């Protein structure tokens, strides 16, 4: 099988979701299992840039990485770019204990495509929603506690998650850009 692009991550769930999404646009992803350093930074873009350049330097080929953050409005955007660390330390149950009456949140995805040390492109997307009052469903990450606007179920419970999520929207932007780039270069 031929692959269009390599997806660097240590998270097989994230890869499977990304592969499912990009296949709808005619792109085939190959998983590059990579334990990339998760730097602590003030923006998702900084984290994604660092991971993308690191993955490029390890694998010597163009790659994409994805970083996501859950920004809870009543917590001044926390955990935001620290979402991975917060999930690993306090998890969904800890987030649910922190959130009070105001439950509005944004789930943001950043795709970073790197084809050289000074050649990183970003594709981002946000989905508005709210934090549920308890975990709903059994999928990975913050999916059991995030309910997108206009829905009454968490990402974990939604069959159509891969058609509406922040990751879907960011990957759609990337796929359109990448396919246009391929067409314009005659590949």
Output the average pLDDT for the chain: 93
Confidence at residue 93, expressed as pLDDT on a 0 to 100 scale: 96
How many C-beta atoms surround the C-beta of residue 42 within 10 A? Answer: 10
Q: Does the pLDDT of residue 187 top 70, yes or no?
A: no
Q: Does the pLDDT of residue 2 top 70, yes or no?
A: no
- Catalytic annotation on 4? no
Exposed / middle / buried, residue 160 (Cβ in 10 Å: 0-12, 13-18, 19+): exposed
Q: Domains in the chain and their CATH numbers?
A: 5-185 (3.90.950.10)
Q: Does the pLDDT of residue 104 top 80, yes or no?
A: yes
The residue from 35, 42, 67, 119 that is catalytic is 67
Confidence at residue 185, expressed as pLDDT on a 0 to 100 scale: 77
Token pair belonging to 50 = 């660092």
Confidence at residue 1, expressed as pLDDT on a 0 to 100 scale: 56
Cα separations in angstroms, 69 against 4, 44, 108, 111, 170: 26, 7, 5, 12, 13
pLDDT 10s digits, 123-133: 999 999 999 99
pLDDT 10s digits, 91-101: 999 999 999 88
Read off the pLDDT band of 106 (50, 70, 90).
very high
- CA 10, distance to chain mean position in Å, is 13
What does the alpha-carbon distance between residue 36 and residue 48 come to, in Å, rounded to a whole number? 10
The residues near 19 (Cβ < 8 Å, ≥ 6 apart) are 7, 28, 29, 31
pLDDT 10s digits, 30-86: 999 988 888 989 999 999 999 999 999 998 889 999 999 999 999 999 999 999 999
């Amino acid at each position: 099988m031929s692959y269009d692009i390599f997806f660097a991550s240590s998270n097989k769930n994230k890869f499977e979701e990304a592969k499912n999404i990009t296949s709808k646009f005619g792109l085939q992803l190959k998983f590059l299992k990579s334990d990339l350093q998760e730097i602590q930074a003030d923006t998702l873009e900084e984290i994604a840039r660092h991971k993308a350049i690191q993955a490029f330097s390890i694998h010597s080929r163009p790659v994409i990485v994805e970083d996501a953050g859950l920004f809870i409005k009543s917590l001044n955007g926390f955990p935001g770019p620290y979402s991975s660390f917060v999930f690993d330390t306090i998890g969904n149950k800890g987030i649910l204990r922190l959130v009070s009456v105001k439950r509005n949140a944004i789930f943001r995805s950043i795709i970073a495509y790197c084809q050289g040390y000074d050649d990183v492109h970003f594709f981002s997307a946000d989905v508005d929603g709210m934090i549920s009052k308890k975990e709903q469903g059994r999928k990975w990450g913050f999916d059991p506690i995030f309910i997108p606007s206009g829905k009454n179920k968490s990402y974990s419970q939604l069959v159509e998650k891969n058609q509406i999520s922040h990751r879907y929207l960011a990957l759609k932007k990337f796929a359109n850009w990448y396919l246009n780039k391929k067409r314009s270069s005659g590949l």
